[in-house]
Structure 1
Amino acid sequence: MSAQKISHAELRIDDLHGSLSDPLLDTMNFLNEITFRYPEAISFAPGKPYDGFFDVDQVFGHLREYIGHLAAGGDSADRIRDAIFQYGPTAGLIRQLIADSLRVDEGIDVGPESIVVTVGCQEAMFLVLRALIAGPGDVLLVSSPCYVGITGAARLLDIEPTPVAEREDGLDCADLARAIRTERARGRRPRAFYVVPDHSNPTGSTMPMHTRRELLDLARREDILILEDSPYRLVSPAPHLPTLKSLDRDRRVVQLGSYSKTAFPGARVGFAVADQTVADPAGGTAPLAAQLAKIKSMVTVNTSPLSQAVVAGMLLGCRGRVSELNAKAAEYYATAMRSTLRQLERDFPADRRGALGVRWNTPAGGFFLSLRVPFRADNAALARSAEEFGVIWTPMSYFYPGGGGEHGIRLSVSSLSDEEITEGIGRLARFVAAEAEK
């Protein structure tokens, strides 16, 4: 029998969804490639928790805590087995525990029916955007610079976000109001504004109290929703400013939550608090969360019950007070931030940074800070930095959906030791000086 020649299908990138040709979707792949290529380089790129806080036994302890909780509540062995091993409810298995935690830790009082448990915060973003942006005339506004996850999710949904540029001291609500009016003048309908108010990614900035109140007033006045994403507040030192959701009296805020920083990223458990009322043609009403669950049922079906059980055990073990559970981690990250800022002062003394045109901000918490440099901080510069100086960072241009940030770099300090920070900033200073001389 003669061998037959197999003809393989060949696809062209132009025939696939346009997002796959967007450089935005290649940013994380490029960073991963650089990290893999230069394993000895000190990396200020990944915004991940410090590995030293993780212990494999914690997972089993949390799981046992939750199983014991179910048994104490009267669940049979069969019911407990199904809760852990079967698909489970689409909206989530642990909504009541999340609601209890939000109440005691953040002063947010919502019922479990207003919560949907998601596969990380990224899915929460996707669900909310799919629900709110109903057509090409609907507008998503984002603070700029902003987290690439929201702009990436928007791109996959064919949504072109409207950036609202932050000033040196953060968001000015007058700029947001102007952007809303401009979109309406174009015949479009502004629907939501995405913002990270606490120790934001990428800049590390925190929204002051007066701006939080102004933003809520603006949302009510202009009839838009606020998408609040704040994963770094409970791994930052106290005192914490109130969340936008805890200040929300008009159900204007959809809170996007995550346990990736406060528990561990591998759990992939997040949530959305969406207590806005949605009316149907028959006159019935339900929380927006119920609509998000409909979408989720066709995306991920449900969030892993096993992962939910581990997070539930964590919440039970700390009585819902995640801030107390993370107090040690928050101090570690605060110390890392102080060490980084101190080392920047040493390696870029005032006269030297003035001559170079280098400056940086001084976050009080979180994982990130931003640094302005006198050269174009693009992928080519990053590759030179890794290869010739052994230090990796993230170009700030990744975080500007409307363009910008070409002379900025983001530094993440969360996963490094004090020794790595000291050596890494020294390498960075030598790289910046070499680039400035070109």
Structure 2
Amino acid sequence: MNFLNEVAARFPDAVSLAAGRPYDGFYVADDVERYLRVYRDHLAGTGLSASAIDRTLLQYGRTNGVIGDLIARTLAVDEGIEVPAEAVMVTAGCQEAMIVALRGLCAGPDDVVLAVEPCYVGFTGAARILGIEVVPVPEAADGLDPEAVLRVAREVRASGRRARALYVVPNFANPSGVSMAVAARRRLLEVASEAGLLILEDDPYGLFGLDDEARPTLKALDGAAGGRSVIYLGSFAKSVFPGARVGFLVADQVVVDGAGRRTLLAEELSTVKSMVTVNTSPIAQGVVGGVLVDAEYSLRAANRAKVEFYRRNMRALLAALEHEFGDDEPMTWNTPSGGFFAVLNVPFVADEALVEVSARDYGVLWTPMCFFYGDGGGEGAIRLSCSALEPPRIEEGVRRLGKLVRDLVS
């Protein structure tokens, strides 16, 4: 991430098909004050006094957060996920949710986590910082194969290690853009139960499909079946404000201690969070809470303009790839059904050195897919992002990329 930012800073005129951030045009600073007032009015409506509202927003707060009830209500409306407010931990971005979950689940030297590969670098980086081994499960063209998960879990167990969890992004994954079919999701839940795995389901892009097809979360499917195999990781970076840095995890698994005391896993994980960030900024939570109240607890409804924008951008990217490379037999790319990313396969090594050449001499930035592999892989592929640009800039970026590719191939 730092490398790409540094290259982008040195070549500011380069079109960035690397940046996976949301589009700047959706955000104005005046909205922060507006939504904070909505949240304050909401608190007043619950009977809190003015001084109590001030304490809620301006003092140290509850470790697991103050808007868990609003998040739980939104998940029920938008995703069919039914959990109590106590099962929700509000975190400083989804990145902290990953760190808290990893540290809470992996306590011994033989504890490992499985992760789909290619994998979002934020997760593998968090595991590396904590000294937790990540065992890759290769992703197929149509998403994660549950049978591959079962095979890898058995191999881990046979080696004397203990696989505690599996990290997966079922909807429009970063970096591949691939989604899991519903049948595969159901089978993955069966595999998790058989292998004794918790699933860490990360869902930052689930709102942004190219159509309105229902794509049930693993958490909703698991809950409907009476299971508790999924810890759901969420973020408001794409659906509200990236700068708020508010995420969450949902862990409604029951924990029983030696004395028979029963609590929820989210409450137990608060011990980890209290040592990391003490608590998530109540002011930032208040802004997000105001958005949820104002949206009547449906981010799907509130984000229609963003959904249409990102749909248009993905279609523009795929159309530009077809126009630029459609007659080039060596060139292939996938066609995601939503999200921010697509992958272009190229007949040469795409690495950091080539990124710099591309930015300097051709005016286009992209992300090497090799960044998303732990021990080799992805050298002949690049990730293209379409989220941060208008369609004409996407088309121009692909045109510049086409010139780079043709020069290298020839």
User: Per the alignment, in what secondary structure is the counterpart of residue 140 of structure 2?
Assistant: coil
What's 1:263 paired with?
A: 240
> Paired residue for 2:311?
334
Number of the residue aligned with 1:183: 156
In 1, the alpha carbon distance for the partners of 2:128 and 2:408 equals 33
1:114-129 aligned at under 5 Å gives the runs: 114-129=87-102
% identical aligned pairs: 51
Distance in 2, matches of 1:168 and 1:64, equals 46
Query: What is the distance in 2 between the residues matched to 1:175 and 1:363?
Result: 22
- Consecutive unaligned residues of structure 1, counting only runs of 5 or more, are 1-27
Match of 2:71 in 1: 98
User: What is the CA deviation profile of residues 355-392 of structure 1, one whole-angstrom value per residue up to 9, with x for unaligned ones?
Assistant: xx211001121000111001100000100000000000
1:245 and 2:251 are equivalent in the alignment: no
Equivalent residue for 2:144?
A: 171
Instruction: Quote the residue 1:217 is aligned against.
Output: 190
2: CA distance between counterparts of 1:34 and 1:292? 38
Once the two structures are TM-superposed, the CA of residue 349 in structure 1 deviates from its matched residue by 2.2
CA distance in 2, matches of 1:139, 1:57: 45
The TM-score, its normalising length taken from structure 1, stands at 0.92
Per the TM alignment, residue 115 of structure 1 is displaced from its structure 2 partner at its CA by 0.8
Contact 2:141 2:178 in 1 (8 A): no
2:107 is the counterpart of 1:134: yes
- The answer on whether the counterparts of 1:235 and 1:262 sit within 8 Å (CA) in structure 2 is no
Partners of 2:142 and 2:179 within 8 A in 1: no
Q: How does 1:18-417 map to 2 (within 5 A)?
A: 28-236=1-209, 237-248=211-222, 249-350=226-327, 353-354=328-329, 357-417=330-390
CA drift of 1:157 comes to 0.6
Distance in 2 separating the partners of 1:175 and 1:73: 49
- For residue 235 of structure 1, report the CA deviation from its aligned partner: 3.1
Separation in 2, partners of 1:98, 1:319 = 11
Structure 2: which 5+ runs fail to align?
A: none
Letter in 2 for 1:223: G
Alignment partners' CA distance in 2, 1:197 and 1:48: 19
Worse-matched range after superposition: 194-203 or 162-171: 162-171
Q: Give 1:208 deviation, angstroms.
A: 0.4
Amino acid at match of 1:114: A
* Structure number, greater radius of gyration: 1
DSSP-derived class of the 1:166 partner: strand
- Supply the distance in 1 between the matched residues of 2:281 and 2:229 (Cα, whole angstroms): 29
Q: Distance in 1 between matches of 2:140 and 2:106?
A: 27
Instruction: Kindly provide the amino acid, as one letter, of the partner of residue 272 in structure 2.
Output: I
Structure 2 length-normalised TM = 0.98
Task: Give a deviation string over 1:383-428, Cα, whole Å, max 9, x none.
Answer: 0000000000000011112320001100010011111011111000
Give, as a single letter, the amino acid of the residue that structure 2 aligns with 1:177.
L
Question: CA offsets per residue over residues 315-351 of structure 1, 9 Å max, x none?
Answer: 000111001111110110010010111111111123x
- Do the aligned residues in 2 keep the contact of 1:235 with 1:323 (CA within 8 Å)? no
Paired with 1:100 and 1:245, the residues of 2 have a C-alpha distance of 15
Amino acid at match of 1:219: A
Counterpart contact for 1:235–1:261, Cα < 8 Å: no
Do the aligned partners of 1:228 and 1:256 also contact (CA within 8 Å) in 2? yes
Instruction: Quote the residue 1:428 is aligned against.
Output: 401
**Aligned-partner Cα distance in 2 for 1:145–1:347:** 26
Alpha-carbon distance in structure 1 between the residues aligned to 2:122 and 2:212: 27
CA distance in 2, matches of 1:263, 1:240: 21
Match of 1:214, as an amino acid?
A: R
The residue identity in structure 1 corresponding to 2:370 is: S
Q: Which amino acid aligns with 2:220?
A: S
Once the two structures are superposed, residues 29-60 of structure 1 have per-residue CA deviations (whole angstroms, 9 ceiling, x without a partner) of 11011000000000011111111111222111
Secondary structure in structure 1 of the residue aligned to 2:144: coil
Partner letter of residue 241 of structure 1?
A: R
SS in 2 for 1:156: helix
Deviation of 1:223 after TM superposition, in Å, equals: 1.2
Query: Aligned partners of 1:342 and 1:242: how far apart in 2?
Result: 28
Secondary structure in 2 aligned to 1:82?
A: helix
Deviations 1:145-196 (A, max 9, x none): 0100110000001112000001222211111111011111111111100000
Tell me if structure 1 keeps the 8 A contact 2:70–2:297: yes
Cα distance in 2 between the residues matched to 1:214 and 1:286: 29
Q: Helix, strand or coil: the match of 1:200?
A: coil
Task: Please give the alpha-carbon distance, in whole angstroms, between the structure 1 residues aligned to 2:181 and 2:17.
Answer: 27
Distance 1:149 1:349 in 2: 33
Distance 2:215 2:245 in 1: 26
